[in-house]
Amino acid sequence: MAVSDPLLVGIDLGAGSLKISIIRSDGSLVSEASAPVATSSPHPGWSEQNPDDWWLAACDALRRGLKASGRPASDIAAISFSAGAHTQVLEDADGQVIRPAILWNDQRSREETQQLRDKADARILEIGANRANPTWTLPQMQWLRTHEPEAFARVRRLYIAKDWLRAQFTGTWETDTIDALGTLMLDAQKGEWSKELCDMIGWPMATLPPIVKPSAIVGKVTAKAAQATGLAEGTPVVCGTSDTAAETFGAGMVREGMGVVKLATAATVNVLSRKAQPDFSLINYYHVVPDHWYVIAATNSCASAHKWLRDTFFRRDGEDGSAVFDAMDTRASAVRPGAEGLFFHPYLNGERSPYWDPLLRADFVGAGFNHGGGHFVRALYEGVAYSLRDCLEVMKSKGLGFSTARLTGGGARSALWRQIVADVLNITVELPAVADASYGAALLAGVGIGVFKDERAAAGVVQIVSRAVPDPARTAVYDQGFPIYRDIQKALAPINHRIHGFVAGQNK
């Protein structure tokens, strides 16, 4: 019997936690829950997770989210998934996970990336619509072949993160078009796995999954998964897609010229486009909206840098983390725009757009006795915003851009940070009522089972709760500061490389 008020579930696997959102068909949030996921870094620049932890987190979050909804599991009409692109899970012939998953922000494949660029830089861009860099699966698997050849030889199935997690619910094996493109093993024009790209690293194509639309129904919740999660057996499962695609969709970016700025673990500038924009400085993905692309320029560290600053300099043992963030915000609000000459570059884990340099390092430059804790917080907010402006400038040079953008990610909770982004980028920023990938995944579940007519209809339920308009006086300050920010980056880049060599020498 059909449910009069069907619920939709979105499950998003983030870098530090897994989150579920349960929503109604009008887009309103019923309940949400999250569970932590640990990341290990056994060597500098490495970032790995145990996939079994994802499943445990999903079971925990689902049970608590369902309980908080006050509704029976039978009211769930469908579920769908999202997670970071590029992150892969490798299984052997017995279906056993071979090694920890290498995350999208892992930087170990620097040498392999350079080898691929030296070998076929332009050709990889031509086929895959993107340039090789340590974020992508192709160079990561080249690293595996070089450094863990036994593991490489055992691989029989490659999953992308959200697909492996979803397989625990359905027992099926597939990926969507967007995550397939994120491996850098796909022919972007044909929408098929590329033998030429796979052959560059000797990757067996038989290990790559079938490709479906993000909104495709790929199975149903099994009895085993139902018992573990509290979901009803037989609940339809929709494939899902990458976290950024889900976020931009959930924020309502479904028409050309719309922008989304994401303030999450990493920060991104996204714009919807009718076609790809292959360029060494940009990232191109198919979008959830059929026959469209979204183009990205990205900075590696954002909310992760914010958390690092809090935990390193502001938080005492036992203090509530959210309260500390609020206190940091209050102190930063008392500081004038420009942080009295204190600049921050958020390169805590190398950098992507527009420099694509994994050896860049973060810095605070210009400190004096006049600077207190609030200055450092504001400088961090401004530094991330300047880095986003660096990204946006690349897009503008290609004829892309926007005057209004939706804001997503945990950093969007800060009204001060939202305003700084508006002032530095000189755009109006809009905050959706719910702004995360799990919400977008829930909407996608609705598209998959026909609750919404199509993707644009689903985006029509997105509600905007606040706007930040750029202030001309503050924008003028940042227009003066941005060239200084860039000049500092240029001056310190060769020194960053020397520091990397120095540290590498000490670690031998």
Cβ distance 256 to 403 under 8 Å? no
Q: Are 145 and 204 in contact (CB under 8 A)?
A: no
Which residue type is seen at 254?
Answer: V
CA nearest to 23, candidates 443, 431, 432: 443
Helices (H), 235-314: 243-250, 303-309
Q: What span, in angstroms and rounded, lies between the C-alpha atoms of 220 and 238? A: 9
Length of the chain: 508
Burial class (CB in 10 A: 0-12, 13-18, 19+), 69: buried
Residue 423 annotated as catalytic: no
Closest alpha carbon to 47 in 97, 88, 108, 91: 108
Cβ within 8 Å of residue 128, ≥6 positions away: 138, 181, 184, 185, 186, 187, 188, 194, 197
Mark 171-201 as b/e (b = at least 16 C-beta within 10 Å): ebbbbbbbbbbbbbbbbbeeeebbeebbebb
Pairing of strands 88-91, 157-160: antiparallel
Catalytic pick among 243, 279, 363, 436: 243
Which residue is it, tokens 């479906």? Answer: 212
Q: Which SS3 state, helix, strand or coil, does residue 159 take?
A: strand
In sequence order, the 6+-apart residues with CB closer than 8 A to the CB of 127 are 187, 188, 189, 194, 196, 197
Angstrom distance (rounded) from CA 489 to CA 345: 8
The structure tokens listed for 130 are: 């993107």
Decide if 287 contacts 395 (C-beta within 8 A): no
3-state secondary structure of 174: coil
Query: Catalytic amino acids?
Result: 243
